[in-house]
Structure 1
């Protein structure tokens, strides 16, 4: 089992977490003020960020590849984004047409660029098709919101893969002709790549030499060389040709986790025993799985509003609000909310589906799945459950849902009423957007997930006991203490309460003092091998603090995701931070 050290904790604002990794999924924001300044776009923070949470921050490798494509093919007034398939770019264009006000409906252009490696030198590399959407620079924030909500942007590893191909070709070209830049028109279109317009009009993309002529400085640094070593030594232990096998193994691992334990006390009337890897679909991010679940439902059934039950992660609600007819939001996730839903359904209102988390992020509330399932069966709507926070090892909720989603980038790094119609739609609409190298890393990192989760369960429960007994803590949100009567009904016999909890202190100043003095990694994301904390409400709801507070998500809330560090050491660090509170 991997161990975690504090010796290389990033202390500089904007540094990747973990340190010196080009594909880090978190970024160091060590103090409370760093997080506030990040949300307010202060230069002292945003100009120093080397990375960020993938859906909120364009990775530097992706940014570099975008700039190359824009230099070659964009108009001076245009920006771009890169996606893994044409269908995704088309959905982005539809989103822009809906949310970006423009008098020119043709101001969004799609293009495809095929990058071809030298197969004579490497039989393990594959051709890559880059799908690009060009749009007015003023529309970037709208396009970026599509990137954030859907989670369907290209992988940073895919960008790195393409840049490495271009770097190789650039080096070869430089060796062949040291002083002359090739401007041969056919060199781009025929030898190295091809571009295809999305409409009958030709794109204004006269090649300025080959696509790779600007890549010469990409890998010219010790930092990148070190990153490459870390990736090769500790991660990329299989070539890209093994991607499909890795994906199959991931699916089988998920299926094995869904099988009901014979010791489980969970009622068996909804057990699904015949689930196979054919019922498992992989997506590039957890949010992507939620987005596509909603999209599949909109395709399978008449378009109706959905229900968002409980205070879910921010983009789940945004997806339901922005894509399709909208949604009803029951943010408290309480029994009285279920009463209101029942009244709504009794009035004759039809809904598309009900989305919820088990337990919720960040308040760790567990919804009454049995009662919701009764309503779903009576009023004919499916239930979608995101069990990322609970995870496969701790809870069994599959029997109560029609679609279950989970984030494989977190800890895990049929007999259904709607089965036939959903399976038909998914088989027709599903695209495998998971980049092969990401699948290889996920498979590798998930081999010991059960052991890791058990250790994390133990440490998190001990830390929560410490915090719960402190008079300085106003409220502690952890499944063991929040709606425990519901959570325990679905907890596996040998499971636990998970590694995520949230804390609220008696004042915002106390929250800041605790957070600033806490000697652990501090940044967005959760479910990592290392303990990670963030001022959740500041990062997720900074521009709607009053609205979030009305559902109990106060501005001073700190969310903690426990990792694999030594339990005693963690307890000492949390006690020291409690002692740092002067109020």
Structure 2
């Protein structure tokens, strides 16, 4: 049977609960087609969890990874496969810092290292897995289990070279400045480890509403992270003086509000104080934004728009050639794991059309945003076209990215109805060639909804990653869902 075409046959009905998105053994998203499914997922309801045929890889264990883990997990405990012993050792050290009496063991398994944990260590191993993105991927698990053959190392080396060259052409920099990682969060992990060499044991300062793990990783895994949600440069200046962070972290743009900070001004404030700036351009993309003159380290989830396929985990980290710490950062950079051979080959193949695909995703998203703004049922649309700070960073002829968020006028009740009736695939992730919607706040901040609402991110907010569907056809799906 051929894979399901999610552009023409999306997973949007209740019967689609748990379907992989895309219809592929290594899919990184899963269908949560109804509002009640999202709630059941967050509440850990057994019937919902049993229906899931996959899971977003950092938020749980892919079925192949889980099968491998079950072979090693102790009674009452858990097991966590990592691609290298260095990554497993870092996870073990984190568990022991958080739970002094915990029992852990590193177990070699078919080229991987599995961290075996007792009940005391397990929640901390899970947190390390989620926040750092350093866990073994489904392709690595398939090879370790003997389901797939290991690819040629020469082919993998060639794939990595092509990926770096492709990224370098987009960023307009030397490929040697780019390192490849198992995920976007592991790219951030490598950046934070390098910062810790330059400025040991110092917290970070993040500006703007955060993607959950960009904030949680420095808070939980490193030396703390403060969050400041203001555009007032005087307040930011005062916070830098008071905290003296090891680095400032920004997202370009933020998720899901899709706003940018004043990057040149922030960079100037940080650099005047000898503080490096780390940026995440996953949503804006380097195809659209020119940021290297202002940032010191730039990490990206290549899982998203760069791959576009939704079936490979990968990330990159770029050391800006303009950074005053350029050489010191290169010397300090010691990643705990590299992008695996199998994932590198898959990523190289998926990203061959990135220069043509991303502008089309951007154009389709802009069309949908403009149409939604004119619909009487819509209260507000969030899209980077309305952010002057984003516009100031755009390359000539660039787009605004593939992501938008919106609120309906009827609040929670109407948002549920719109979500349930919307005939596009529904689940986490973004940047895929097929459109993908989710009630973002429920998925990312279920245990802190009041805090998110205070930050201007209500529970009924809907986020949409726009795909390659015909814009008129896609609009009709939204019109139908928005009917009272």
Q: Same fold (TM over 0.5)?
A: yes
Structure-to-structure mapping, 1:438-449, within 5 angstroms: 438-449=343-354
| Number of equivalent positions | 464
Structure 1 residue aligned with 2:277: 383
Structure 2, unpaired ranges of 5+: 308-320
Structure-to-structure mapping, 1:197-276, within 5 angstroms: 239=152, 241-259=154-172, 275-276=173-174
Q: Does 2:254 align with 1:360?
A: yes
Offset, 1:302: 2.8
* Aligned mates of 1:77, 1:538 — CA distance in 2: 30
Q: Does 2:403 align with 1:500?
A: yes
Structure 1 residue aligned with 2:266: 372
Q: Does 2:205 align with 1:307?
A: yes
Offset, 1:57: 2.0
Structure 1 residue aligned with 2:236: 341
Q: Does 2:115 align with 1:133?
A: yes
Q: Does 2:356 align with 1:451?
A: yes
Structure 1 residue aligned with 2:65: 62
* Aligned mates of 1:258, 1:88 — CA distance in 2: 29
Offset, 1:27: 0.3
Q: Secondary structure at the match of 2:121?
A: helix
| 1:141-160 deviation digits (Å, cap 9, x = unpaired) | 32111100000000100111
Structure 2 residue aligned with 1:82: 81
Greater relative CO, 1 or 2 (CA 8 Å, sep 6+):
2
| 1:63-121 deviation digits (Å, cap 9, x = unpaired) | 11122234xxx4x3442111011111111111111223x5x35x1111223x3xxxxxx
* Aligned mates of 1:534, 1:352 — CA distance in 2: 34
Q: Secondary structure at the match of 1:22?
A: coil
Contact 1:4 1:565 in 2 (8 A): no
Q: 1:28 aligns with which of 23, 27, 31?
A: 31
Contact 1:521 1:532 in 2 (8 A): yes
> After the TM superposition, which parts of structure 1 deviate over 4 Å for at least 4 consecutive aligned residues?
none
Contact 1:310 1:356 in 2 (8 A): yes
Offset, 1:496: 0.8
TM, length-normalised to structure 2: 0.92
| 1:377-428 deviation digits (Å, cap 9, x = unpaired) | 21110001100000021111122100011111111112321111111111xx
Contact 1:282 1:432 in 2 (8 A): no
* Aligned mates of 1:18, 1:415 — CA distance in 2: 39
Structure 1, unpaired ranges of 5+: 116-128, 169-235, 260-274
TM, length-normalised to structure 1: 0.77
Structure 2 residue aligned with 1:417: 324
Q: Does 2:346 align with 1:467?
A: no
Contact 1:10 1:17 in 2 (8 A): no
Q: Measured at CA, do residues 149 and 13 of structure 1 come closer, stay the same or move farther in structure 2, by a change above 3 Å?
A: same
Q: Secondary structure at the match of 2:468?
A: coil
| 1:324-371 deviation digits (Å, cap 9, x = unpaired) | 3212211x3x322x3212123445x42200001011111000110011
Q: Measured at CA, do residues 498 and 8 of structure 1 come closer, stay the same or move farther in structure 2, by a change above 3 Å?
A: closer
Contact 1:240 1:437 in 2 (8 A): no
Contact 2:104 2:121 in 1 (8 A): no
* Aligned mates of 1:377, 1:291 — CA distance in 2: 21
Q: Secondary structure at the match of 1:422?
A: helix
Contact 2:205 2:249 in 1 (8 A): yes
Offset, 1:138: 4.7
Contact 2:432 2:465 in 1 (8 A): yes
Range that drifts further, 6-15 or 241-250: 6-15
Structure-to-structure mapping, 1:427-442, within 5 angstroms: 429-442=334-347
Structure 2 residue aligned with 1:15: 19
* Aligned mates of 1:493, 1:528 — CA distance in 2: 24
Contact 1:10 1:18 in 2 (8 A): no
* Aligned mates of 2:330, 2:156 — CA distance in 1: 24
* Aligned mates of 1:444, 1:478 — CA distance in 2: 30
Range that drifts further, 147-156 or 284-293: 284-293
Offset, 1:6: 2.1
* Aligned mates of 2:234, 2:201 — CA distance in 1: 24
Structure 2 residue aligned with 1:98: 97
